[in-house]
Structure 1
């Protein structure tokens, strides 16, 4: 599960940075619970929350798909490329969460995340059907 392990490691680092940024904004706004109505804190909390809403299920599907792929095959290569894309689009999304009007990076991040979620969901269903002998 090298692809899943590496992707999860990079995603963990992204979440670490997002969490630090929330803590920093809390300190600046002097808010310990909630958002205090502070726009910067709200934006950083949403970036962190959005990450935790999407990335875990994608990583779970990565792992389940990867353990059922032929090692070193085309499927593993595609999963590796998808892992790199996931890291890139999640960084883009986080960078785009600093303004009220979404910049292009946020749109790319959100759209890329949706496509990866859709793609891994379909891949998991197709692989499951194949493993169950449905085709």
Structure 2
């Protein structure tokens, strides 16, 4: 049986690298290697990257746990797609000036739904 979670782990890592490159480019633009130099663009890029980094690891852990508990492949793909699309929507919405709040809201909704539903499913499966 082929594992599904590594596909989404790889895709999410590529998104994280893109967000990291945005931070690095801004660091060169404002000529700072540490901190935000008081630059609003730098702060926005750093928070966009950090927000991604705060949610994705937990999502992948939950997803892998569900897959290891033999969750149906379609359910695992739904988890991965929700996390991936949610985090991309949130990053795009947050990184724009002005922010695109609808994309941020969609991203938050998809991410939180994935986390909550997967967590509840894992708990339920473990208790049965």
**TM over 0.5, shorter chain:** yes
Instruction: Give the counterpart of 2:73 among 59, 73, 76.
Output: 76
Question: Paired residue for 1:104?
Answer: 102
Residue 110 of structure 1 and its aligned partner are, at CA, apart by 1.5
Unaligned runs of 5+ in 1: 131-135
Which residue in the other structure is 1:119 paired with?
117
Alignment coverage as a number of residue pairs? 126
2:77 is the alignment partner of 1:60:
no
Q: Which has the larger radius of gyration?
A: 1
Distance in 2 (alpha carbons) for counterparts of 1:128 and 1:40:
45
| 1:95 and 2:95 correspond | no
1:38 counterpart = 2:39: yes
Q: CA RMSD in A?
A: 1.5
Give the TM-score normalised by the residue count of structure 2. 0.90
Structure 2 gap ranges (5+): none
Q: 1:103 deviation in Å?
A: 2.3
Runs of 4+ that moved beyond 4 A: none
| Residues 11-30 of structure 1 aligned to structure 2 (within 5 Å) | 11-30=12-31
Cα distance in 1 between the residues matched to 2:54 and 2:11? 17
Distance of aligned partners of 1:125 and 1:89 in 2 relative to their CA distance in 1, 3 Å threshold: same
TM-score, length-scaled by structure 1: 0.86
